[in-house]
Amino acid sequence: MLFTTLKTSSLQLSNRVVMSPLTRSRASQHNIPTALMAEYYGQRATAGLIITEGTSPSPNGLGYPRIPGLFNAAQVAGWRQVTDVVHSKGGKIVVQLMHTGRVTHVANLPAGAEVLGPSADRCPGEMFTDSQGMQQHSTPREMTQADIAATVDEYVQSAKLAIEAGFDGVELHAANGYLIEQFLNANVNKRTDGYGGNIEGRNRFALEVARATVAAIGADKVGIRMSPHGVLGGTGTFPEVDAQYLALTDALSSLKLAYIHVLDHSALGTPPVPEASKEALRVAFKGTFILAGGFDRVGAEAALAEGRADLIAFGRPFIANPDWVARMRSGAAGNELDMSTFYTPGPKGYTDYPTIGA
């Protein structure tokens, strides 16, 4: 099933292989996508669907060095290089909108930007900066309701720019401890107003972003990525997590989003998302369902055959294997990953991995 087409009202894909969003830190110092990035994504255009690396809808969300943005004309032009190449090779590509919120250090932000979060608690741990090396995360300012409204609008404007840049849609990043998940997670969100305190309050920001983005570009062009039971960025499980994500998924299903994308990081050593939770979300969402997290071809085929997902996302295999689809189809072995080049500038470990027969 992995190599069969998927055609829905939202998606027309040549196969059921999704390239997961993968931060690679190759944008310019002004967070503009480059010709090198266009080459990288073009090499991987045989995936049924490419989801780009996390891309900030706001200067405030540029948490890591050299990650791309999508909030000005230069960034639109940079991304247009990418979408043109992918489409010329028959691929489909959506941009993942990722606001890092409190997961940053001020040294990574442009002038005039600030570190924001649902609460004023600093994210535990450290963050790499190009100018100062490893630093503790900066303490965020607790967002006011005016800040929240302005941030929702930033997502809307970025989604509109995504369509202008030629993307087939956007994915809202509500996983991995970034801003939307910071609101969702009871261990991070300490608010007592209408954006916290209970399931409905914690879900409110995510749903406001989703509704506004849908209103701007259409539900058929909006997906979302979630990681219930995730632990990144100081999140972690909490007593109402399953009930909360089920309520969120019910609401997202009613919006008729293009897809939801559920991530399980247990292959990297974190606690697993319980199978019962994944099954409940699968039943609750009436559209296309993507599973991600440590899949190989055998596991992917099983998940599709058993109806646990419609699409399967692969992450690290696409870093080292631009032709990952062909390698899975033929049974060819994959290239060895060079983890030292995951986030370094330049083509090494980025566009120079060999393909079959090269």
Q: Residue 197 burial (CB < 10 Å; 0-12/13-18/19+)?
A: middle
State the Cα–Cα distance between residues 22 and 270, nearest whole angstrom. Answer: 18
- The answer to whether residues 233 and 123 touch, using CB atoms and an 8 Å cutoff, is yes
Identify residue 79 by its one-letter amino acid code. W
- The answer to whether residues 318 and 287 touch, using CB atoms and an 8 Å cutoff, is no
- Tokens 């060999």 correspond to 354
Q: Can 178 be counted among the known catalytic residues? A: yes
Q: Which residue out of 41, 178, 195, 259 is catalytically annotated?
A: 178
| SS3 of the chain: helix, strand, coil, percent, to 5 | 35, 15, 45
- The answer to whether residues 315 and 332 touch, using CB atoms and an 8 Å cutoff, is no
- For residues 88, 92, 94, 95, the Cα torsion angle rounded to the nearest 10 degrees is -40
Q: Which residues are catalytic?
A: 178
